Structure 1
Amino acid sequence: MKIKGYMKVLSALAISSILLAACSDDTEKSSTKEKKGKAVEQVDASKFPTKTTNQAEPIKGGHLTYGLVSDTPFEGILNKVFYQGDPDNQVISFFDEDLLDTDENYVFTNDGAASYEISDDHKTVTLTIKDNVNWQDGKPVTGADLEYAYLVMGSKDYKGVRYDEQMALIEGMEEYHAGKADSISGIKVDGKKIIFTFKKGNPSVTTGLWTYPLHKEYLKDVPIADLESSDKIRKNPIGFGPFKVKKIVQGEAVEFEANKDYYRGAPKLDSVTLKVVNPSVVVKSLENGDLDVAKVLAEQYDQAKELDNVELLGKVELAYSYIGFNFGQYDKEKEENVMDENPKFKDKRLRQAMAYAINNEEVGEKMFKGLRFPANSVITPNFKYNNKDLKAYEYNPEKAKKLLDEAGFVDTNNDGIREDADGKKFKINFASMSGSDVSEPLARYYIQQWEQVGIDVELLDGRLHEFNSFYDLLKKDNDDVDMYQAAWGVASDPDPSGLWSRSAEFNYTRWVNDKNDELLAKGISEEAFDDQFRIDTYNEWQELIHDEVPVIPTLFRYELAGVNDRVTGYDFLAGRQYQWHNVGVTK
């Protein structure tokens, strides 16, 4: 299943499927685990290397081919202020980046395009952009460019999803957003310097402050309402990253050329070709040398590990798969999620029963070679904030049946399918997306397990939906979708409000809850600068989600990349950016 990515604003919205977990640099090994009397081959994923072992000097004039693994075209919204899907983010990572880098704990450093300082009262953040940081048209990147990003996202004409209560913490942002001011009083610019003043201290400014600028001089003539659809975003994007966009075949391929004036130093490659590659042919394309770098799906591991010319790298991904329930709609006028008065899934015992009815341990072991494992939470295990004491919903069909009985979902006509608490026919439309050979068997497997406890679940339209059309159903709150299966690539900031707050457009379940509001606010309060306070707050929040089950977290995952052995300098744990300027080829 492909991942939907999201960008952080302060803490609410950062990148798609980025970084890491502590993986050793040893070669991978496999072991055999006995399960229910049957041998199931398991992968010891902790043994995957995370960097290419080729240490030779790269050749001059090198070219690399990158496979964007997808069964559908990339959408082509090539700017982080506007994009939503991970395929677009993979394109963006070659030619543009954020101003601040992060360390292995996802905390900002001063090693990137800018340095930063935070005042003693935690209310003021000052970024200073380095002198040699320029846009690819030669213009300097300035504080005004970062301010412009905030002016765009805070505008009523902005059609994206990245304005939320986190943005409103900046002094004057609410007034600007409401159209009562022409500027944001809490943002001051002085050449290469930009100063943010917040209403209160927020611990997420060290991990999730929005630092992605927009080229103001290049974009200012385009009305904000038209930016997302403009040629300057979709066909001729300009960044300040290691490569320049030379040519785009919309949705299919991108040709990049080296940005010789890149502030970290000229790239070791002269050019890169990115092309969309169907998951079914990735391994063969790596074997033939048609691709130098490409993600390898877990279900392709057995074939990929046999390739003589390819090195497999791996890491725990900042991502989780989940099953979401439909509770309502997003009210664009109010800019908040609104639950239906009588949602189909109002009884949490029904939602809990559906969680107990599915066997995610078996899914991870048999469908994904052990490269996915049951998720206990919607905060990934990469973070110390993951509540390790919280157990994932275990497969327990008898408990599921008992909960359904208690909730009044009983089979009144002895056909094996339960009616609802009012004795009426109860059917659930389940939406799921395409993406790999496992996608449909997985959806069918879950449907079968729900049927075994008496719940009638049908695949929406009788088929899987491709990535873009699937998320279009969710964004438009299509009434035909009762429940859906999806995945999030989460941000380097642990604050989950970008997906879970009352105002978050990415909150596709449209679930709202007063206790949820309270705990999310506590997690970014001044008290949360005390790390134990923040851990305790997020532990309580995860217990709330586990009990209320607005979504069923299903699987955490290991991410694999197949890299041709001629490639040097590729680091799967490179940080917030892939740092493509370090990558070269040796033959």
Structure 2
Amino acid sequence: MKKKTSVKFFSLLVASGLLLSACTNTTGGDGKKKPASNGKTEVNVASFPKTVKNDKQPIKDGSLTYALVSDTPFEGTLNYAFYDGDPDSQVLGFFDLPLFSTNADYEITNDGAATYKLSNDNKTITVKIKDNVNWSDGKPVTAQDYEYSFLVIGNKDYTGVRYGDAIIQSIVGMKEYHEGKASNISGIKIIDQKTLSITFDKANPSLLTGLWTYAMPKHYLGDIPIKDLAKSDKIHKTPIGFGPFKIKKIVPGESVEFERNDNYFAGKPKLKSIILKVVNPKVILQTMKKGEADIAEFPTDQYPAAKGSKNFQFIGEYELAYNYIGFKLGHWDAKKGINVMDNPKFQDKRLRQAMAYAVDNKSVGDKIYNGLRFPATGLIPPSFPTWYNEDEKGISFDPEKAKKLLDEAGYKDVNGDGLREDPKGKKFHVNFLSMSGGDIAEPLAKFYMQCWKNVGLDVSLVDGRLAEFNSFYKMVENDDPKVDIYLAAWATGTDVDPYGLYGRDVPFNYTHFVSDKNDQLLADGHSEKAFDHAYRKKIYDEWQSYMNDELPVIPTLFRYKISAINNRVTGLKASYGEDQYGWANVGVSNENPDVE
């Protein structure tokens, strides 16, 4: 299964669910209690093991099939500096890796492909790549390869979105390089073929959880202009990495055949090959029952039907992710590299608050996601136990409060048709962008629209239909004027610092919310003072409360992820933090998968 990396690394995820007929009068949860039974299935998320249960010895040179569960092809941008969506990240995890492993707190360790040492002032990190770490074409992974990744991301011709990361921007000389005033990054020094140092303009406590840890093969990609890299065949058709497997064949958007990398630095992988194939969510249950796939991140809506299956088992953990509803508050000014909050439609936060109070997230979690998701209370999920604010209640379901807020903001039903006009008495309509994905995506969108209709708001889908993942992402990223609000989810990465999603000068701030207070809180959260955990905790508690008041996004659900694993699979863990290099340890105990 997919492993998240130690870097601050965001993925836009699909948000979908099961039929829920209408908003009810149940109250919202506080995020600390286990989801309640809804009469359909009762799930104790703590009961899911984190490691597959199979004590048999793996056979020699086995093979397995991995199902990438998606209703859309994977885009195939197979490079960490350029990919945008979760499907591509699942492909990447088999053949390319971060230089560092991480511990249970997502902090980098010296157990991976490289070791590190921090200077006494915490401003310089010296990285040494281990001697036996080689690209899949046999060339060594070098310090120049690691430097090259920063040179790509920081270049003015770079077409991806990683430059918005605060740690990358704080490298000494990065700004001058980004502006074209320097030909290299002065803060990055090559010491020898395997060693380099990176100096930052200030100490940042997120360095050990948010450092960019991906090298790029300069010998392989360096002849391609940076502006053309993202579309090159060397990234889409013949990418290389230094992971446990290497790509043998790609059928674009549909499947990837991986073969073992016999020279993998951490030891010969147990499996000889892995076949990854895209499987539609509608048929994944039957695919697993027939043994046509060994591993799949499993749709929560199908868990009741899958519960009790004999030929496969479930492992799970809380996700480094949350679902949310985003408001389009402005636009991204690409020339200046900043977010501009200039869309007047949702500037009154009482309107945003009303739309939050109108939705019944507890019922969504219980009835749509079968108890595997539960009401979000803020923008830092409980998978960050140190930084999650247990005292923050968030926005509960309270339609009467929603109506009161709308009245106060001047949104009233002037003509008696049951729908509210804007404060000027004109028709008020909201265009809602929501993704396709399984049988339950449309009913979920309809549920939210019904919630808003119940408080007098006229909301309909953009273009009258759901958008598939790639179209959805492009509309959100490009600030399509048809989009007022959108339903999505963030995979947060393992660095708690939310700057990369909500900073003034980062492209991932898709709502384009900006304020002086937000700037200050985000800066304080990764300041040198924030090496003191108590201080940083105080700042992030305040930030979560502040964002729950401003509500540029409505946090809707925290998530529990389950994966279906055929009984013949051995050595697979669900852990985000401690098993970055885990695919080398995965095997199968039988030649053929168990079937039901």
**Fold conserved (TM > 0.5)?**
yes
The letter for the 1-side match of 2:358 is: A
What aligned pairs does 1:15-414 form with structure 2 within 5 A after superposition?
33=36, 39-164=39-164, 165-189=166-190, 190-340=192-342, 342-383=343-384, 384-414=386-416
For normalisation by structure 1, the TM-score amounts to: 0.94
SS in 1 for 2:235: helix
* 89-98 vs 296-305, greater mean Cα deviation: 296-305
| CA 1:52–1:16: 2 relative to 1, 3 Å | farther
Deviation string for 1:439-467 (max 9, x for gaps)? Answer: 11111001001001000001111111000
How much has 1:34 moved relative to structure 2? 5.9
| Alignment pair present for 1:586 and 2:592 | no
Deviation string for 1:182-221 (max 9, x for gaps)? Answer: 0101001121111011111011111110010000001111
How much has 1:387 moved relative to structure 2? 1.3
Separation in 2, partners of 1:15, 1:192: 30
How much has 1:225 moved relative to structure 2? 0.6
| CA 1:397–1:578: 2 relative to 1, 3 Å | farther
| Alignment pair present for 1:440 and 2:442 | yes
| CA 1:205–1:315: 2 relative to 1, 3 Å | same
Structure 1 unmatched ranges of 5 or more: 18-30
| CA 1:527–1:168: 2 relative to 1, 3 Å | same
How much has 1:378 moved relative to structure 2? 1.1
Higher relative CO (Cα under 8 Å, sequence separation at least 6) belongs to 2
Separation in 1, partners of 2:583, 2:223: 31
> What is the root-mean-square deviation of aligned Cα atoms in Å?
1.7
Q: Contact between 1:324 and 1:552, CA under 8 Å: does it hold in 2?
A: yes
Separation in 2, partners of 1:173, 1:557: 36
SS in 2 for 1:535: helix
* 573-582 vs 217-226, greater mean Cα deviation: 573-582
For normalisation by structure 2, the TM-score amounts to: 0.93
Q: Contact between 1:571 and 1:578, CA under 8 Å: does it hold in 2?
A: no
Separation in 1, partners of 2:200, 2:455: 51
Deviation string for 1:258-283 (max 9, x for gaps)? Answer: 00110110110000000000001111
How much has 1:56 moved relative to structure 2? 1.2
Separation in 1, partners of 2:143, 2:282: 45
| CA 1:454–1:6: 2 relative to 1, 3 Å | farther
Q: Contact between 2:6 and 2:102, CA under 8 Å: does it hold in 1?
A: no
Deviation string for 1:126-168 (max 9, x for gaps)? Answer: 1111111000111111111010000000000100001124322
Separation in 2, partners of 1:183, 1:578: 32
The letter for the 2-side match of 1:362 is: S
Q: Contact between 1:63 and 1:272, CA under 8 Å: does it hold in 2?
A: yes
The letter for the 2-side match of 1:484 is: Y
Deviation string for 1:504-555 (max 9, x for gaps)? Answer: 1111111111111111111111000011111111111111100001000000
| CA 1:7–1:158: 2 relative to 1, 3 Å | farther
Q: Contact between 1:33 and 1:41, CA under 8 Å: does it hold in 2?
A: no
Separation in 2, partners of 1:247, 1:554: 39
Separation in 2, partners of 1:7, 1:270: 24
Q: Contact between 1:40 and 1:365, CA under 8 Å: does it hold in 2?
A: no
* 269-278 vs 162-171, greater mean Cα deviation: 162-171
The letter for the 1-side match of 2:53 is: T
Deviation string for 1:414-454 (max 9, x for gaps)? Answer: 11001111111100000000112221111100100100100
Q: Contact between 1:299 and 1:367, CA under 8 Å: does it hold in 2?
A: yes
The letter for the 1-side match of 2:552 is: P
Separation in 1, partners of 2:155, 2:538: 35
| Alignment pair present for 1:577 and 2:557 | no
**What count of residue pairs does the alignment treat as equivalent?**
565
Deviation string for 1:355-392 (max 9, x for gaps)? Answer: 00010001100111111100001111111111111113
How much has 1:314 moved relative to structure 2? 1.1
The letter for the 2-side match of 1:182 is: S
Residue identity over aligned pairs, in percent, reads: 56
| CA 1:332–1:264: 2 relative to 1, 3 Å | same
Q: Contact between 1:16 and 1:490, CA under 8 Å: does it hold in 2?
A: no
How much has 1:409 moved relative to structure 2? 0.5
The letter for the 2-side match of 1:424 is: K
Separation in 2, partners of 1:149, 1:450: 45
The letter for the 2-side match of 1:322 is: Y
Separation in 1, partners of 2:4, 2:106: 16
Q: Contact between 1:130 and 1:192, CA under 8 Å: does it hold in 2?
A: yes
SS in 2 for 1:166: helix
SS in 2 for 1:538: helix
The letter for the 2-side match of 1:150 is: F
SS in 1 for 2:42: strand
How much has 1:57 moved relative to structure 2? 1.2
1:24 corresponds to: none
Separation in 2, partners of 1:34, 1:493: 33
How much has 1:306 moved relative to structure 2? 2.5
Separation in 2, partners of 1:46, 1:461: 41
How much has 1:578 moved relative to structure 2? 5.7
How much has 1:15 moved relative to structure 2? 6.7
Separation in 2, partners of 1:6, 1:558: 15
1:25 corresponds to: none
| CA 1:518–1:382: 2 relative to 1, 3 Å | same
The letter for the 2-side match of 1:586 is: S
2:21 corresponds to: none
Separation in 1, partners of 2:415, 2:311: 60
Q: Contact between 1:572 and 1:578, CA under 8 Å: does it hold in 2?
A: no
Q: Contact between 2:313 and 2:566, CA under 8 Å: does it hold in 1?
A: yes
Of the three residues 482, 501, 504, the one matched with 1:502 is 504
| CA 1:494–1:371: 2 relative to 1, 3 Å | same
How much has 1:32 moved relative to structure 2? 10
Q: Contact between 1:8 and 1:14, CA under 8 Å: does it hold in 2?
A: no
Separation in 1, partners of 2:586, 2:234: 28
| CA 1:511–1:6: 2 relative to 1, 3 Å | farther
Separation in 2, partners of 1:327, 1:185: 37
The letter for the 2-side match of 1:232 is: K
How much has 1:557 moved relative to structure 2? 1.0
Separation in 2, partners of 1:57, 1:351: 55
SS in 1 for 2:323: strand
How much has 1:571 moved relative to structure 2? 0.7
SS in 1 for 2:463: helix
How much has 1:103 moved relative to structure 2? 0.6
The letter for the 2-side match of 1:245 is: I
| CA 1:567–1:151: 2 relative to 1, 3 Å | same
| CA 1:34–1:16: 2 relative to 1, 3 Å | closer
| CA 1:365–1:330: 2 relative to 1, 3 Å | same
Q: Contact between 1:16 and 1:491, CA under 8 Å: does it hold in 2?
A: no
Q: Contact between 2:35 and 2:373, CA under 8 Å: does it hold in 1?
A: no
Structure 2 unmatched ranges of 5 or more: 14-33, 591-596
SS in 2 for 1:125: strand
Separation in 2, partners of 1:32, 1:418: 34
SS in 2 for 1:503: coil
